Structure 1
Amino acid sequence: MDCDVFNPVDLPCGRTIENRLVKTAMYEHMANFSGGPPNEFHYGLYSEWAKHGWGMILTGNVQVSPQHLTLGRDIVVPPTLDAEDVKPFKKLAEVIHGAVDGTRSLAIMQLSHAGRQSANFIGGRPPFVPPLAPSSVCVGGGHDKNRERSAVSNLIFHALFQVPMEMTALDISNVQSSFVQGALLAYKAGFDGIQLHAAHGYLLAQFMSPKSNIRDDKYSVAPENATRMLSEIVEAIRKVVPTTFIIGIKINSADYVTSGNTEEVSQEGERRVLDHIRTIASWGVIDFIEISGGDYEKPDFMACSGSQKLDRQAFFAQFSRTVMKDLHRSPVPFSSVPLILLTGGLRSHSHLQAALMSKHADLLGIGRCAVLCPDLPKILRLQLQNNKSSSTWADKPFTREPEAVFRASKWIPSVKLIGSGVGTAWYTTRMRDIAISQIKNPRAEPPPADYNRGGLIAVFTMWAWFDCRIAPIWVLGILMVLVVTAGFSASGVIRTPG
């Protein structure tokens, strides 16, 4: 493997990524309430990333169902794909491709369906209308570790998430069609490809997990069925897009089992996800697989404290190395083997180099550091040019992270989802600051990160940013989130996607 971060690499579909640095999906929370197309805030934000030579830029999750949003301000695939519907998405693709230094980033649209993790009030449905899911198992329900959660934590889950409705054969067919619609949207808008979000407990991950799927039909979690939902979507997409259109998948690396001690959970989870990845690779039509982990019940993907980052980085890196070894021993032709994208904990140049040299990954995913330091590729290039004989800077973190904000999240280890949301809010407001700065002056440097912005201020700023024409139900949903967050903080309970 070539170990230079800035050397190009070819994808199985024939497209070339100009370097190994990938700006991974980060939820922006900038669309209209109840979902909508990209707008000037998205254009401002992505124009900043586009300036600095990322090899590939992934959007935040674009929902294929307007009735299954995450936090309300999601980008949503439109019901029709006429010129006016496609226009805002075409502008976003043009923005991502609009490099100023000659490096043209590949633009990838992440497609997602929240399934049972689409919250009450803000999920795009009328109050108390349940979301669709593989089985009628609520978030936080039917999970052995629930016994370890406090009554307060369980109350939060029941307030935010409804018992979902089990999907019928027609529901499954409609959802598959909506993913195909999303892929066609991406193609018509000029994106280079898509990423199917099959991680973090969203719908496609729900079909592959025994804790959320207890079906006994052909979409069960039996080994021969577990990836059927995903495979049928991929097959349908490949029929309507060119062979050079990129298809990636984001998949869990943990949380695949419902019980057992830590070692048993790790081994069983690793075996299951390895089986799934082997199956996915055997299709011969996937270009990259991003390794991630966690869901709303155990939000490892939003881990923020220093120790959590180190544990998360070590686990994902070792697992991704196992995946790469396994895939290159498989009977799949080398040219068809998906590239592995490792995300999480890559905070210095030495981390990047080590991941490549140790064969932990082909591609290097940067999420939160890309928000703090949008010009990271440019900075790394300059450092490599000016310090070829020196390694004094290689181990230094790319930028300072807001650890003080996250220390407050230790106040409630029993309500990890709420705690994780505080960190998410901080980064969301940081992205909004960048967007507004670029709207005002596209030539300006983004504002420095506001490390004095506390967790509760970030939560309030994230949710209080709305149009006065907002519907009353949205006001109710936002007030509920604010009251729950503030209430648990005041009582010392609070300890916070792409």
Structure 2
Amino acid sequence: MPQQTPDRQSELNSPLTLPCGQVLPNRIMKAALSEALGDPGHRPSDRLETLYRRWASGGFGLLVTGNVMVDRGQLGEPGNVAVEDRRDLARLRRWADAGQGHGSRIWMQINHPGRQANPLAGRSRPVAPSPVALKIPGASAPQELDEAQIEEIIGRFAETAAVAEAAGFDGVQIHAAHGYLIAQFLSPLSNLRSDDWGGDAERRSRFLFAVIRAIRANVAPEFAVGIKLNSADFQRGGFSEQESLQVLARLAEANIDLIEISGGSYEAPAMMGQAKAQSTLDREAYFLEYAKAARSLAGAVPLAVTGGFRSRAAMAEAVSSGACDVVGLGRPTATAPDAADLVLAGAKEKLAAPRIRAGLRPVLGRVTDVKTIDGFLDLQWHTDQLHRIGAGKNPDLSRPWWKTVGSMLNRNGVEALRPKRRSG
């Protein structure tokens, strides 16, 4: 085994105490991936428990679940778990237990899709701060939320967090990135309101901070509350890096335990590397430069960076340099559910990073953007790996692209041909 620089290796292995007092056993986090493994009643399935039991044995200090929706009528995709009340508490407890079996902490990522809701999955018209449609084929304008509906959704976030605590989860992560509802409030492109919930940057952030306050008032002080925030949404005139840093500075005073930095939306998917220069891709961590700028603003709140990490050297450098406190791994955990153990034990210098591309490229290129198809197919292929693990099987890195086309049609019907929200 190659010799490691002692201080860097020990940094990845070292525990991290969060502001609420909770201790993460190491600095590697399984970041959110949308598993699409809820049962037809939007409850956690046995396959979801099997998947998290496997990840729990993989050495991660923290497991963050995929999207758990706060409203059963507003879902991002078929297979989402939704938690509105305590009706499924027993199943939720089994899910939490599965993720804690080997000392990992498990947090429930809680979310509302807003205009990114799939009307066929949720059976309701999508809602949003303003009636502005997504810039993707087939998207229609959502219904604009009124004041009472906004307050109701804030209460839903607080109730879902309380249920997560009652079920034994160690914390929640508020999803405020990737173009979902909270990010829609933050962005001047999707929030055109002229009342107290829109307008300047401070009013556009009001919804986010109202959600945080409501959750904190509804859970114990030792229950962790984290957030996933965009560094920017990478759209002209959208939520900018400057605005993001302003929000982050306020989060430092908002009783938050961990800020995970990501970026982009499903109109400009920077979180999947599609909006990044080659130099950024080569150094692996897509959002590390932002994290360095954010470090002084975050104060005592730890930072996590997710997106692009593959090599142990890059992970160790990111933590030892102080740029971030936690390294998040997303898609690598779908092909190596023991990725943290492999990195921490020095068994792998670099994690596998399959990039799935569609066949029939000359034909597809005549009718559509092949890069968009490739990105969507890549996410679906990784979802297939999660479903294999949930079924008690090992990942299949040789799975051909055309089998993924078949499986996504089987999961979602013809609606699978529309872009979906697959990463958390």
The 1:227–1:313 alpha-carbon spacing in structure 2 relative to 1, beyond 3 Å, is farther
Tell me, yes or no, if structure 1 residue 270 matches structure 2 residue 241. Answer: yes
Deviation at 1:479, TM superposition (A): 2.1
Structure 2 CA distance for aligned equivalents of residues 250 and 312 of structure 1: 22
Structure 2 CA distance for aligned equivalents of residues 408 and 244 of structure 1: 53
One-letter identity of the residue aligned with 1:478: G
Listed as ranges, the matches of 1:11-160 within 5 Å are 11-33=18-40, 36-78=42-84, 80-82=85-87, 85-99=88-102, 104-122=103-121, 124-125=122-123, 130-140=125-135, 157-159=136-138
Local SS of the residue matching 1:48: helix
Superimposed CA distance per residue, residues 29-59 of structure 1 (whole angstroms, 9 cap, x where no aligned partner):
11134x5110111011111011122100011
Local SS of the residue matching 2:132: coil
The 1:221–1:17 alpha-carbon spacing in structure 2 relative to 1, beyond 3 Å, is farther
Deviation at 1:72, TM superposition (A): 1.4
What is the aligned counterpart of 2:220 among 199, 219, 242? 242
Superimposed CA distance per residue, residues 269-294 of structure 1 (whole angstroms, 9 cap, x where no aligned partner):
211100111111122x0001110011
- The corresponding residue for 2:396 is 449
Structure 1 CA distance for aligned equivalents of residues 287 and 397 of structure 2: 30
Deviation at 1:189, TM superposition (A): 0.2
> Tell me, which stretches of 5 or more residues in structure 1 are unaligned?
141-156, 260-264, 329-336, 385-392, 438-445, 466-476, 486-495
What is the aligned counterpart of 1:397 among 347, 350, 354? 350
Q: Look at both structures and tell me which one has the larger radius of gyration over its CA atoms.
A: 1
- The corresponding residue for 1:10 is 17
The 1:257–1:294 alpha-carbon spacing in structure 2 relative to 1, beyond 3 Å, is closer
The 1:418–1:176 alpha-carbon spacing in structure 2 relative to 1, beyond 3 Å, is farther
Task: Pick which of 185-194 and 311-320 moved more.
Answer: 311-320
- The corresponding residue for 2:3 is none
Local SS of the residue matching 1:291: strand
- The corresponding residue for 2:413 is 478
The question of whether the paired residues in 2 share the 8 Å contact of 1:138 and 1:162 is answered with: yes
Tell me, yes or no, if structure 1 residue 286 matches structure 2 residue 256. Answer: yes
Deviation at 1:221, TM superposition (A): 4.1
- The corresponding residue for 1:296 is 266
Deviation at 1:297, TM superposition (A): 0.9
Superimposed CA distance per residue, residues 449-478 of structure 1 (whole angstroms, 9 cap, x where no aligned partner):
232421x4213213314xxxxxxxxxxx72
Structure 2 CA distance for aligned equivalents of residues 305 and 199 of structure 1: 16
Structure 2 CA distance for aligned equivalents of residues 169 and 108 of structure 1: 30
Tell me, yes or no, if structure 1 residue 427 matches structure 2 residue 382. Answer: yes
Listed as ranges, the matches of 1:453-464 within 5 Å are 453-454=400-401, 456-464=402-410
- The corresponding residue for 1:176 is 154
Question: Aligned Cα RMSD in Å?
Answer: 2.6
One-letter identity of the residue aligned with 1:107: I
Instruction: Count residues with an aligned counterpart.
Output: 410
Structure 2 CA distance for aligned equivalents of residues 221 and 320 of structure 1: 27
One-letter identity of the residue aligned with 1:46: Y
Structure 1 CA distance for aligned equivalents of residues 283 and 185 of structure 2: 24
Structure 2 CA distance for aligned equivalents of residues 417 and 183 of structure 1: 35
- The corresponding residue for 2:4 is none
The question of whether the paired residues in 1 share the 8 Å contact of 2:291 and 2:305 is answered with: yes
The question of whether the paired residues in 2 share the 8 Å contact of 1:64 and 1:77 is answered with: yes
> Tell me, which stretches of 5 or more residues in structure 2 are unaligned?
1-6
Superimposed CA distance per residue, residues 423-447 of structure 1 (whole angstroms, 9 cap, x where no aligned partner):
111001001111112xxxxxxxx52
Deviation at 1:236, TM superposition (A): 1.3
Deviation at 1:397, TM superposition (A): 1.7
Structure 2 CA distance for aligned equivalents of residues 481 and 38 of structure 1: 22
What is the aligned counterpart of 1:321 among 279, 287, 292? 292
Structure 1 CA distance for aligned equivalents of residues 257 and 389 of structure 2: 31
Superimposed CA distance per residue, residues 326-380 of structure 1 (whole angstroms, 9 cap, x where no aligned partner):
334xxxxxxxx22100001110110111101222210010111111111122223
The question of whether the paired residues in 1 share the 8 Å contact of 2:234 and 2:270 is answered with: no
Structure 2 CA distance for aligned equivalents of residues 372 and 409 of structure 1: 25
Superimposed CA distance per residue, residues 183-210 of structure 1 (whole angstroms, 9 cap, x where no aligned partner):
0110010001000000000000100000
Question: What is the TM-score of this pair, normalised by structure 1?
Answer: 0.77
One-letter identity of the residue aligned with 2:398: Y
Structure 1 CA distance for aligned equivalents of residues 374 and 272 of structure 2: 9
Local SS of the residue matching 2:75: coil
The 1:38–1:97 alpha-carbon spacing in structure 2 relative to 1, beyond 3 Å, is same
Local SS of the residue matching 1:89: helix
One-letter identity of the residue aligned with 2:302: L
